[in-house]
C-alpha cells in the first residue's frame, strides 16, 4: 500500500483494520440491501405467467436492456418473445428470495426464465440475455463478421464500463450520504472518458456496430442515454452536451416505439403514466399503467 497521511483520511485518522468486519456500514441509500454474503434471506417462490419468457426485474438501466429487446422482438412479429414481466423491489430485498437466487445466484435484477425449452433455461446477467435472445430469434445480432464481433465488442464494453457509471460515479455523486471529492473526481474523470470513447466512435458510425441497430445499442442506450438525459442530476456537472454524437445517437434510439415501451416496463420511478410495474399483455401499456391502476384502487384489468 502507498504511504499516506492518516490525518487526511476520511474520517480523519481512519486506518483500515487488519480484517474487515460487517457492522452495518453506511452505504448511503443502499445501506439496507448491502451485504457481504450471498445466501438468500427468505423462502419465496416466484410467480410464473403464461408466456414463454418470465422476467423478474426492475426498470433500472440494467432492467431496461431486456425489456427493450423483448419489445423490439415483438415489434418484428416474434410471438415467441412474449413475456410476463414481474416487479422485483430491490430496495425491499426481494432479490434475495430463494426463488430469485435459484435463477440468479448473484441476486441482482434482471433474472429471466425461458420456459419454451425443456428443461426451462435460466438466464442472468443482462448481456447474456441479450445475446441469448439475439441468437434465438436471429435479430439484432449480425450473423456475418466483422459486424458480429463489433457487436460483441461494444456489448462487453458496456458490461465492463457500467459499474464505473453507476456503482462509481452515480454512487458517490448522488447516493452516498456525504460528498467526497476524491471518488467523485475519480469517477467523473472516468465517466467523461467513457462518454468521449462513445462520442469519437459515433462520429463516423450510425450505430455502435456500424450501420445496423444491434444488441450493443440496446445494452448501451439505457446507461449512456440516461447519463445524457440527466441521470443522477449530473448532466451539467459532466458537461454532457459536449458529446454531440452521443446526443444524436441517444435521441435517435429514444424515438423508437419499442424503446419507449421497453423503458416503461417494471419502472417504479417518474410520472405514473410512464410506469408499467407488471407487463403481461401488449394491452397493458394502455390499460395498466400505474396512474390507471392507482385510480382503480390498485386493480389491474
Burial (CB < 10 A; 0-12, 13-18, 19+), residue 80, is middle
Other Cβ atoms within 10 Å of 281 Cβ, number: 14
Minimum CB–partner distance for residue 95 and ligand GSH (Å): 5
Nearer to ligand GSH, 126 or 290 (CB): 126
Helices (H), 3-121: 61-75, 98-103
Q: Taking CB under 6 A as the rule, does residue 215 contact ligand GSH?
A: no
Smallest CA-to-CA distance from 127 within 38, 217, 201, 205 is with 217
What is the H or E stretch that residue 54 is in? strand 53-57
Specify the stretch interacting with ligand GSH by CB under 6 A; choose among 48-56, 105-113, 242-250, 256-264: 105-113
Please enumerate in sequence order all residues whose Cβ is within 8 A of that of 68, keeping only pairs 6 or more positions apart, or say none.
218, 221, 222, 258, 259, 262, 263
Residues from 124 through 143 that contact ligand GSH (CB under 6 A) = 125-126
Minimum CB–partner distance for residue 151 and ligand GSH (Å): 16
Minimum CB–partner distance for residue 176 and ligand GSH (Å): 15
Q: Which residue is nearest to ligand GSH (CB)?
A: 108
Q: Taking CB under 6 A as the rule, does residue 171 contact ligand GSH?
A: no
Please enumerate in sequence order all residues whose Cβ is within 8 A of that of 105, keeping only pairs 6 or more positions apart, or say none.
38, 124
Distance (Å, whole) CA 278 – CA 266: 6
Q: Taking CB under 6 A as the rule, does residue 226 contact ligand GSH?
A: no
Nearer to ligand GSH, 158 or 250 (CB): 158
Q: How many helices and strands in the chain, by DSSP H and E?
A: 11, 4
49, 55, 59, 60: residue in contact with ligand GSH (rule CB under 6 A): 60
Q: Are 52 and 82 in contact (CB under 8 A)?
A: yes
Residues from 9 through 38 that contact ligand GSH (CB under 6 A) = 33
Specify the stretch interacting with ligand GSH by CB under 6 A; choose among 108-116, 141-149, 206-214, 264-272: 108-116
Specify the stretch interacting with ligand GSH by CB under 6 A; choose among 68-76, 106-114, 186-194, 263-271: 106-114
Q: Are 273 and 291 in contact (CB under 8 A)?
A: yes
With cell 454531440, the residue in question is: 244
Q: What are phi and psi of 45, to 5 degrees?
A: -85, 155
Distance (Å, whole) CA 211 – CA 124: 29
Q: Taking CB under 6 A as the rule, does residue 278 contact ligand GSH?
A: no
Q: Are 55 and 83 in contact (CB under 8 A)?
A: yes
Residues from 61 through 100 that contact ligand GSH (CB under 6 A) = 62, 90, 95
Q: Taking CB under 6 A as the rule, does residue 108 contact ligand GSH?
A: yes
Q: Taking CB under 6 A as the rule, does residue 174 contact ligand GSH?
A: no
Minimum CB–partner distance for residue 296 and ligand GSH (Å): 29
Nearer to ligand GSH, 162 or 202 (CB): 162
Distance (Å, whole) CA 68 – CA 56: 14
Nearer to ligand GSH, 56 or 293 (CB): 56
81, 109, 141, 208: residue in contact with ligand GSH (rule CB under 6 A): 109
Nearer to ligand GSH, 95 or 288 (CB): 95
Q: Which residues bind ligand GSH (CB under 6 A)?
A: 33, 60, 62, 90, 95, 107-110, 125-126
Amino acid at each position: 500500500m502507498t504511504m499516506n497521511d492518516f490525518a487526511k483520511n476520511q474520517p480523519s485518522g481512519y486506518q483500515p483494520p487488519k480484517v474487515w468486519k460487517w457492522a452495518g456500514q453506511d452505504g448511503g441509500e443502499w445501506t439496507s440491501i448491502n451485504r457481504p454474503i450471498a445466501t438468500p434471506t427468505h423462502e419465496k417462490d416466484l410467480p410464473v405467467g403464461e408466456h414463454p419468457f418470465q422476467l423478474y426485474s426492475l426498470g433500472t438501466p440494467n432492467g431496461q436492456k431486456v425489456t427493450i429487446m423483448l419489445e423490439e422482438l415483438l415489434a418484428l412479429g416474434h410471438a415467441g418473445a412474449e413475456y410476463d414481466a414481474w416487479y422485483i423491489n430491490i430496495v425491499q430485498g426481494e432479490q434475495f428470495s430463494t426463488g430469485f437466487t435459484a435463477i440468479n445466484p448473484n441476486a441482482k435484477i434482471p433474472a429471466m426464465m425461458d420456459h419454451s425449452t425443456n428443461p426451462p433455461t435460466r438466464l442472468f446477467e443482462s448481456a447474456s440475455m441479450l445475446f441469448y435472445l439475439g441468437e434465438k430469434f436471429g435479430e439484432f445480432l449480425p450473423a456475418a463478421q466483422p459486424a458480429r464481433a463489433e457487436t460483441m465488442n461494444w456489448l462487453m464494453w458496456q458490461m465492463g464500463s457500467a459499474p464505473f457509471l453507476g456503482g462509481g460515479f452515480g454512487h458517490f455523486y448522488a447516493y452516498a450520504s456525504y460528498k467526497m471529492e476524491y471518488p467523485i473526481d475519480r469517477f467523473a474523470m472516468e465517466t467523461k472518458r467513457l462518454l468521449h470513447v462513445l462520442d469519437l466512435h459515433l462520429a463516423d458510425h450510425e450505430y455502435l456496430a456500424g450501420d445496423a441497430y444491434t444488441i450493443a445499442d440496446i445494452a448501451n442506450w439505457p446507461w449512456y442515454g440516461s447519463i445524457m438525459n440527466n441521470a443522477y442530476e449530473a448532466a451539467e456537472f459532466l458537461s454532457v452536451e459536449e458529446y454531440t454524437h452521443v446526443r444524436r445517437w441517444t435521441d435517435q434510439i429514444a424515438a423508437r416505439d419499442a424503446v419507449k415501451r421497453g423503458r416503461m416496463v417494471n419502472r417504479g420511478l417518474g410520472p405514473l403514466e410512464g410506469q408499467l410495474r407488471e407487463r403481461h399483455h401488449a394491452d397493458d401499456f394502455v390499460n395498466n399503467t400505474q396512474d390507471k391502476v392507482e385510480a382503480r384502487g390498485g386493480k389491474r384489468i
